[in-house]
Amino acid sequence: MNTQDILIRAEQHQTIVPAFNIPYLPMVEPVLQAIKDENSVALVEVARLEWKKFQSKSLEAVAEEYFKFANSNHTRLHLDHIPVIDEDDVLVDYMPYFERAIKVGYQSVMIDGSRLGLEENILATHKVAELAHRYDVAVEAELGAVVGHSKDGLGVSYEELFENKQGFTKISEAERFAIESGCDWLSVAVGSVHGAIADNLKRQKKPTARLDIKQIIKLKAVTRNMPLVLHGGSGIQQDYILQAVKAGIAKINVGTEIRQPYENTLEETGSITKAQAAVYIRARWVLHDFLRVTGTAKFLITPKA
């Protein structure tokens, strides 16, 4: 079963597929073990910034570590956030990343053209989709801008961001994007925020976020019923996430929630083993208590004999 089918099935069952980001390679094993032990289905993913700003080394290094421990009855490998213009406002030669990812076994990929105008975002996404679809690889794109991945964090208070709908995905643009871009999933900006990546901010607690559920419902209605994605999943109030699932969110990215326990434990103890244990405990909490997706493997993936 490919990743696209899993997300569609998640929508049908009104559940969600978590996607755990990997900024440090030793996090792969405990995350995979937590997913298996909760009998859940989830993605393991890495973004370009996580080997540029953290220590996941490369998309190949994460794939190699993933396939050491992966169980296809529970997980798939996803390439997150390959930007056209990155968080430092640098233009990226993005196509080679997708070629490399497909070569080493990534089962879905994300092109991030959110810093482009609508026309340019559509063109970049379509270019990636043409390549990926030849290999049965699903493509995620982003429209609007989930804030937070900058040296200054949010730049404004969270309340001001939400009230002004800063960066929120526009309904009219989403309708056109869904028709013309060729993407399979759409990451939408509806109130969540990315974890900070600047050294002076990345250890701080994220603001408690909420979601514009009415906006999600409208976006779902105009995007040809494609699965919608929520980035910045850590820190969102649980009730909003549960409402968002019913409104059409099928995938949620989780990064800060498991990254900070790893970093804090490693700093306190100097032990990678103890840091891995902290990740395992927190990942199980995310799956069981926060997202309530324990047992989803029973109906999201048909087990292989």
Task: Quick: pLDDT tens for 95-151.
Answer: 999 999 999 999 999 999 999 999 999 999 999 999 999 999 999 999 998 776 555
Tokens of 108: 């879905």
Give the model's pLDDT for residue 303: 65
Give the model's pLDDT for residue 151: 54
Kindly list the catalytic residues: 80
pTM exceeding the 0.75 threshold for the entire prediction: yes
According to CATH, the superfamily of the domain at 3-300 is Aldolase class I (3.20.20.70)
pLDDT confidence band for 195 (50 / 70 / 90): low
Q: How far apart are CA 111 and CA 186, in angstroms?
A: 10
CB 75 within 8 A of CB 35: yes
Average pLDDT score, the chain: 92
Q: What is the pLDDT of residues 149-161, one digit of tens each?
A: 555 555 667 777 8
Give the model's pLDDT for residue 166: 76
pLDDT score of 290 more than 80:
yes
pLDDT confidence band for 305 (50 / 70 / 90): very low
Give the model's pLDDT for residue 232: 87
Residue 73, phi then psi, degrees to nearest 5: -80, -5
Give the model's pLDDT for residue 196: 58
Q: How far is CA 294 from the centre of its chain?
A: 19
pLDDT score of 193 more than 70:
yes
For 177-274, strand residue ranges (E) read 185-188, 228-230, 249-254
Amino acid identity of residue 186, one-letter, is: L
